[in-house]
A = this chain, B = another copy of it.
Amino acid sequence: MPLVSLLTDFGVTDTYVGQMKAALLRVAPSATLVDLTHAVPAQDVRAGAFLLWTAVEAFPPGSFHLAVVDPGVGSGRRAVAVRSRRGDVLVGPDNGLLLPALEQLGGQVAAVELTEPAYWGPARSRTFHGRDLFAPVVGHLITGVPLEQVGPPLARLEAPFRFPAPEQENGLPLGEVLHVDAYGNLITNLPSGQLPARFRVRIGLTVVEGAPHSHYEAVPPGELLALVGSSGLLEISAREGSAASVLGAERGERVHIEPA
């Protein structure tokens, strides 16, 4: 039975995540659930999309990914399930949350709108589709119900936003910070393949020399460095510290690549 990853903005101080898992396990008692995170900032679909995008590749092909950051729950927004070229299935609201991950997994092969109530749960709230709609549908899908059976086909998902692509500046890439992680690392939109062999990084008035660094201990404690992180993207870090605090930088901050 495939793995099921879970990503939401439900937090872990309430019982919403547990209720959603119960609704899934009620249908598929032997499912293996893996929490990605439930600390997506409340209703921040873009942050959720980034986190999902950078996490799905670690899962074996054919995994399921249940993601719920859903400010439009109960409104006309669609509920969807989509199969990727790699064979993974993503399930959640059709609000842009799933799209970057879907593209990371090779793009769409098939998609359906989840309109078939036979595969929903016994409770039918207007505000908690994670528990009452998405989780039961995932339970049915991983126990063998074909995707085509849980609802009618959809041509494509909504694309209400895109992560900004790197620009060019003096023949070198110009990027921006897509995510600040809990260590204070600044994760940019610059993939390793677009970076020169040696370079320096400028953020605001600060310049980080000697990039790319090979690891954190390549600089003295507290100093800034720039390396290709675990997502294959350039990250700005501070050794044994927080680059976000040192630089006062947030999501959207411009990151300039300059000659070494």
A residues adjacent to B (C-beta < 8 A)? 3, 5, 7, 10-23, 25-26, 29-30, 32, 34-39, 42-43, 51-52, 54-55, 57-60, 63, 71-75, 123, 125-128, 131-132, 181-183, 214-218, 227-230, 235, 239-240
Contact = CB atoms under 8 A, between A and B. Distances in A.
A5 B22 contact: yes
Contact of A26 (B17, B36, B59, B183): B59
Nearest to A21: B34
A215 B125 CA distance: 10
B59 A22 contact: yes
A34 B22 contact: yes
A20 to B, nearest CB: 8
A35 to B, nearest CB: 6
A15 B127 contact: no
Contacts of A128: 229-230
Contacts of A58: 18-20, 22-23, 26, 123, 131
B13 A182 contact: yes
Nearest to A57: B123
Contact of A74 (B18, B38, B216): B216
Given A126-B214, A215-B75, A29 B3 contact: yes
B3 A7 contact: no
Nearest to A76: B217
A191 to B, nearest CB: 13
B71 A217 contact: yes
